[in-house]
Amino acid sequence: MEHAIWTEKYRPKTFSDIKGQKEIVGRVKNFVEQKNMPHLLFAGPAGVGKTSLALVIAKQLFEGQWHQNFLELNASDERGIDVIRNKVKDFARTRAIGDVPFKIIYLDECDALTKEAQQALRRTMENYTQTCRFVLGCNYSSKIIDPIQSRCAVFRFKPLEKEELHKIIDIIAKQEDLKVDEKAKAALIEVSEGDCRKLENILQASAVMGKHITEDTIFSMASSAKPKEVIDILNLAVSNKFVDARNKLLDTMLKHGLSGLDIIKQMQKEILNLDLEGRKQLELIAKCGEAEFRISEGSDEYLQLEAFLAQVALIKN
Number of domains in the chain: 3
Question: Given this model, what pLDDT does residue 91 score?
Answer: 80
Q: Is residue 106 part of a domain?
A: yes
Nearest Cα to Cα of residue 111 among 145, 135, 70, 72: 145
Contact predicate 221/44, CB 8 Å: no
Cα–Cα distance measured from residue 202 to residue 188, given in angstroms and rounded to the nearest whole number: 8
DSSP 158: -
The Cα–Cα gap between 57 and 233 comes to: 49
- Domain membership flag for residue 151: yes
Q: In this structure, are 204 and 248 located in the same domain?
A: no
Same-domain check for residues 197 and 277:
no
Same domain, residue pair 152 and 33: yes
Give the span between the Cα atoms of 156 and 50, in whole angstroms.
Answer: 10
- Series of mean pLDDT values for 10-residue runs along the chain (317 residues): 57 79 87 88 89 89 85 70 72 79 87 83 84 89 90 89 88 88 88 86 86 86 83 90 91 85 89 86 91 91 92 82
Q: How far is CA 88 from the centre of its chain?
A: 26
Domain boundary at 140, 156, 172, which?
156
Residue type, 199: L
Q: Are residues 50 and 133 in the same domain?
A: yes
233 and 293 share a domain? Answer: yes
The domain that contains 291 carries what CATH number?
1.20.272.10
Residue 1 is predicted with a pLDDT of 40
**Residue 6 has what pLDDT?**
62
Are 233 and 217 in a shared domain? Answer: no
d(CA 143, CA 43): 11
Write the pLDDT tens digit of every residue in 207-263: 888 889 888 888 888 877 888 888 999 999 988 899 999 999 998 888 888 888 889
CATH of the domain at 168: 1.10.8.60
Rounded CA separation 301/264 (Å)? 10
Do 169 and 261 share a domain, yes or no?
A: no
- Rounded CA-CA distance 89/242 in Å is 62
pLDDT at residue 82, as a whole number: 67
The residue from 189, 205, 221 where one domain ends is: 221
51 plus 178 within the same structural domain: no
Say if 13 falls within a structural domain.
no
pTM: 0.78
Decide if 272 is inside a domain.
yes
> 169 with 285, same domain?
no
Question: How far is it, in rounded angstroms, from Cα 295 to Cα 301?
Answer: 5
Same domain, 39 and 81: yes
Within a domain: residue 11? Answer: no
Count CB atoms within 10 A of the CB of residue 5: 12
Q: Which domain does 277 fall in, by range?
A: 227-315
- Cα separation, 194 vs 9, whole angstroms: 19
Q: Are 294 and 266 within one domain? A: yes
Residue 88 falls inside a structural domain: yes
Q: Is residue 196 part of a domain?
A: yes
217 in helix, strand or coil? helix
Q: Which of 204, 221, 238 is the last residue of a domain?
A: 221
The answer to whether residues 25 and 115 belong to one domain is yes
CATH (domain of 127): 3.40.50.300
Distance CA 48, CA 310 (A): 38
Query: Is residue 4, in this structure, part of any structural domain at all?
Result: no
pLDDT of residue 215: 86
